Amino acid sequence: MRILLIEDDPNLNNQIKTSLEDVGYSVDTAVDGEEGHFLGDTEPYDAVVLDLGLPKIDGITVLEKWRKDKKNFPVLILTARDQWSDKVSGFDAGADDYVAKPFQMEELLARIRALIRRSAGHASSDIECGPLKIDTKSNKVFLNGTKLKLTSHEYKIIEYFLHHQDKVITRTELVEHIYDQDFDRDSNTIEVFIGRLRKKMGLNLIKTERGYGYRLSIERE
């Protein structure tokens, strides 16, 4: 899953980015509203963490522009603890959730997980597809109750598939959602990861839709 983090405090920006990457997210960052708006306008994200007190363009304006342009990714806003009016303005502008500063990193991570789940139509932190299950709290994937040993990229791919079951997903879409902006992307490596996942699962859960992409489904060919 790919996250956009827009926070002008360099220390906090780095702390959040590191915490997100430690639990498996790919993260792009911006330190002002102008850059942040551009990234959100031109790149696909699974969620956005948006500070409101930004230089150049404030967070509320950035969010209003996105929503006006039909950008529907979930947005979590960061607000000062005593600025309740910012929370109201944020929700009215199209925010999905908020965290007040200062905050515990565990709460921020939990809220991001919940936003991504809900935006994909899942209520539980455990997401299943037949014998396959992911525990989004612990970043573990199980097959028939046994934990699968996955590399970080294999995990990111199966996580994306489980959040978007029965949907045909192109290689380009996978590349855009498992790598951050600075990564040297190669869509051909997706085929390698898919092959490894199929071998590790031993089941034909990931179907190839020729000419389109891949689909995670419990239907058997």
pLDDT in tens, 82-104: 778 888 999 999 999 999 999 99
Q: Is residue 221 in a domain?
A: no
Same domain as 81, residue 65: yes
8 Å CB contact between 5 and 29: yes
Same domain as 85, residue 44: yes
With a cut of 50, say whether residue 197 has pLDDT above it.
yes
Collapse the DSSP code of 68 into the 3-class scheme (helix H, G, I; strand E, B; otherwise coil) and give the result: helix
Same domain as 153, residue 55: no
What does the alpha-carbon distance between residue 91 and residue 73 come to, in Å, rounded to a whole number? Answer: 14
Whole-prediction pTM value?
A: 0.90
What does the alpha-carbon distance between residue 87 and residue 81 come to, in Å, rounded to a whole number? Answer: 10
CATH number, residue 40: 3.40.50.2300
With a cut of 70, say whether residue 183 has pLDDT above it.
no
- Region 174-195: mean pLDDT is 81
- Quick one: pLDDT band at residue 220, thresholds 50, 70, 90? very low
Q: Is residue 56 in a domain?
A: yes
pLDDT in tens, 18-42: 999 999 999 999 999 999 999 999 9
State how many domains the chain has: 2
- pLDDT at site 166: 87
CATH number, residue 210: 1.10.10.10
Same domain as 175, residue 99: no
Of 92, 119, 146, which residue constitutes the final position of a domain?
119
Q: Is residue 201 in a domain?
A: yes
- pLDDT at site 217: 85
pLDDT in tens, 69-78: 999 999 999 9
- Quick one: pLDDT band at residue 221, thresholds 50, 70, 90? very low
- Region 92-117: mean pLDDT is 95
DSSP string, 85-136: HHHHHHHHHT--EEEEES--HHHHHHHHHHHHHHHTT--SSEEEETTEEEET
Same domain as 105, residue 34: yes
Q: Is residue 207 in a domain?
A: yes
Of 100, 119, 138, which residue constitutes the final position of a domain?
119
Of residues 71 and 186, which shows the higher confidence score? 71
With a cut of 80, say whether residue 188 has pLDDT above it.
no
Task: Output the average pLDDT for the chain.
Answer: 92
8 Å CB contact between 129 and 142: no
What does the alpha-carbon distance between residue 10 and residue 153 come to, in Å, rounded to a whole number? Answer: 27
- pLDDT at site 216: 92
Range of the domain at 189: 126-216
8 Å CB contact between 190 and 171: yes
With a cut of 70, say whether residue 185 has pLDDT above it.
no
Judged by phi (left if over 0) then psi (alpha if -120 to 50, else beta), residue 70 lies in: left
Same domain as 92, residue 51: yes
